[in-house]
Amino acid sequence: MSPSKVAPEGDRGWIVPVGGAEEKIQDQRILKKFVELSGDELARIAVIPTASELHDTGPRYVQLFRDLGAASAVALPFFERHDCDRVDLLDQLERATGVFFTGGNQLRIATTLGGTPVARIVRRLNAHGLVVGGTSAGAAILPEHMIAHGASGATPTAAMVQLSPGLGLTNRVVVDQHFRQRDRLGRLLTALAYNPFAIGLGLDEDTGAFIDPENVMHVVGSGAVTVVDVSRLGHSSIAEADPGVPICMTNIRIHILPHGGRFDLHHREAHPPE
């Protein structure tokens, strides 16, 4: 699934995957930055809590965004596929300046929204400037390739990860969340072994990767983003390795970027915080 085409005279909206457990009480810089990009005091934010099984997830984010100064925030209950045809909900989605997917289970988002008007509207509007973000499962769903399941561990092994189609807002990255906290380097490397074109973004908790319209990623938060670049991959044994066997991968570049760091996804260049 390729991203929707951006109009020649326009800019794609920001894409904002967050590693989960973002600070909601003290230093709310990630959510505050999301509101700012969505229009600040003019922001109209649509929260999509499809991934969560908790009934208070959507209302909680609605209150957070309102407290941070958004003009309006609303939770859109797309919990079943038939909800995705509700004209009243789709109208509210069309009017949003920012869309935020909550955490939970990313496969619940994919199987509920995939192929529906909701997914098409989000893709189309993002290509025309809508800011789209998500935390944890809501971060995983944003790119073309989504990590659906995977084991923990630093060493990549064959069959360690299962990929699924995501929303397809960008085909440049594969996102993994709760990265350092859940020891997920191995599964991100395995995902990149399947798809060496993409760049891996391993997001620590309370850390966001704010990808601007020029495809420069800006790190915001208290943790770091581990950027894994396999564009110069020399050798990969993924095609021959049996399930559970370590994969041989050579000539990989890894960058660790804390708050203020940047990575140019087009030129594949890392920049430390100023």
Report the CATH number that the domain containing residue 208 is assigned in CATH: 3.40.50.880
Residue 273 covered by a domain? no
State yes or no: is 205 an active-site residue.
yes
User: Hunting for tokens 């229009």 — which residue is that?
Assistant: 39
The pLDDT assigned to 9 comes to 78
Do residues 100 and 47 make contact, with C-beta atoms less than 8 angstroms apart? yes
**CA gyration radius for the chain?**
18
Task: Name the catalytic one among 38, 52, 136, 236.
Answer: 136
Cα 256 vs. chain centroid, distance in angstroms? 18
3-state secondary structure of 270: strand
Do residues 252 and 238 make contact, with C-beta atoms less than 8 angstroms apart? no
Task: Name the catalytic one among 38, 144, 178, 255.
Answer: 178
Q: How many C-beta neighbours within 10 Å does residue 20 have?
A: 23
The pLDDT assigned to 5 comes to 77
Residue 43 covered by a domain? yes
The pLDDT assigned to 69 comes to 98
Its domain, for residue 58, covers: 15-265
How many Å apart are CA 60 and CA 141, to the nearest integer?
Answer: 21
Q: What is the pLDDT along the chain (274 residues), one digit of tens a residue?
A: 567 778 777 899 999 999 999 999 999 999 999 999 999 999 999 999 999 999 999 999 999 999 999 999 999 999 999 999 999 999 999 999 999 999 999 999 999 999 999 999 999 999 999 999 999 999 999 999 999 999 999 999 999 999 999 999 999 999 999 999 999 999 999 999 999 999 999 999 999 999 999 999 999 999 999 999 999 999 999 999 999 999 999 999 999 999 999 999 999 999 999 9
How many Å apart are CA 274 and CA 264, to the nearest integer?
Answer: 15
Task: Name the catalytic one among 144, 205, 218, 236.
Answer: 205
Residue type for position 71: A
Residue 58 covered by a domain? yes
Do residues 198 and 173 make contact, with C-beta atoms less than 8 angstroms apart? yes
Residue 4 covered by a domain? no
Cα 253 vs. chain centroid, distance in angstroms? 21
User: Hunting for tokens 């800006």 — which residue is that?
Assistant: 218
Phi, psi of 80 (to 5 degrees): -130, 155
Q: How many C-beta neighbours within 10 Å does residue 239 have?
A: 9
Quickly list DSSP for 123-146: HHHHHTT-EEEEETHHHHTSSSEE
- Global pTM reads 0.97
Residue 178 covered by a domain? yes
Do residues 214 and 269 make contact, with C-beta atoms less than 8 angstroms apart? no
Q: How many domains does the chain have?
A: 1
Helices 117-127, 87-94: crossing angle, 10 deg rounding: 10
Residue 270 covered by a domain? no
Residue 6 covered by a domain? no
3-state secondary structure of 25: coil
